[in-house]
Amino acid sequence: MRNHRNSPTVHAGSMADIAFLLLIFFLVTTTIAKDKGIARKLPKKCPPGQVCSLPIKERNVLRLFLNEKGELLVNDELLPVAALKEKLVEFIDNNGDGSCEYCKGVGSELSSDNPQKAVISLSTDRLAPYSEFITVQDEITKAYLDLREKYALEILDKLPDDLSESELEEIKAAYPFLISEAEIN
């Protein structure tokens, strides 16, 4: 029979201490990347007893649909994503009702009345590629930024970086960011 008293042993206590110290070291030295998302301001909650949804004229809604293949349909017509920004600017800045003094649009009866009434409705298929969804969101944001920058330069005669808080609010009121990811009836 073998004598267990003389057999070599490994001290597991010190190995556990080393493993714990390594774990602490990696937790302390590792940087965790912050998640980035799409910045959107959600609408305020509707107070009880008030009607918060107003009827929207069909001409004031630009319907975007991203299908499972990543193809973009704008009002049921296939459009390359690269041409979306131009289409959005044309729709938003249309001045269809003639009430917008700063709009540069042609006043088409097929586009929005004015920027305050223009709504972008974005719908996606469940299987649509996420990268295409982000690209569409980026193009929407670029269109609004382009219109707001032109307003700052032409109406306020200032660079966007030189604007005061009240001027920024004026620009946001001139070109409000109205996007819906819900069905609009």
Please give the pLDDT value at position 5: 66
- What's the burial of 42, exposed, middle or buried (CB within 10 Å: 0-12/13-18/19+)? exposed
Percent of the chain with pLDDT over 90: 48
d(CA 53, CA 171): 24
Express each pLDDT in 115-156 by its tens digit.
999 999 999 999 999 999 999 999 999 999 999 999 999 999
pLDDT confidence of residue 54: 76
Q: Where are the domains of the chain?
A: 58-180
Distances (CA, A) of 143 to 40, 91, 115: 15, 10, 12
161-178 mean pLDDT: 92
DSSP label at residue 113 = S
Residue 108 has pLDDT above 70, yes or no: yes
Separation of CA 181 from chain center: 10
Q: Is the dihedral of CA 123, 117, 148, 102 positive or negative?
A: positive
How far, in Å, CA of 26 to CA of 129, rounded? 35
pLDDT in tens, 43-95: 778 888 887 777 888 889 999 999 999 999 999 899 999 999 999 999 999 98
Residue type, 91: F
Q: Which residue has the higher pLDDT, 63 or 34?
A: 63
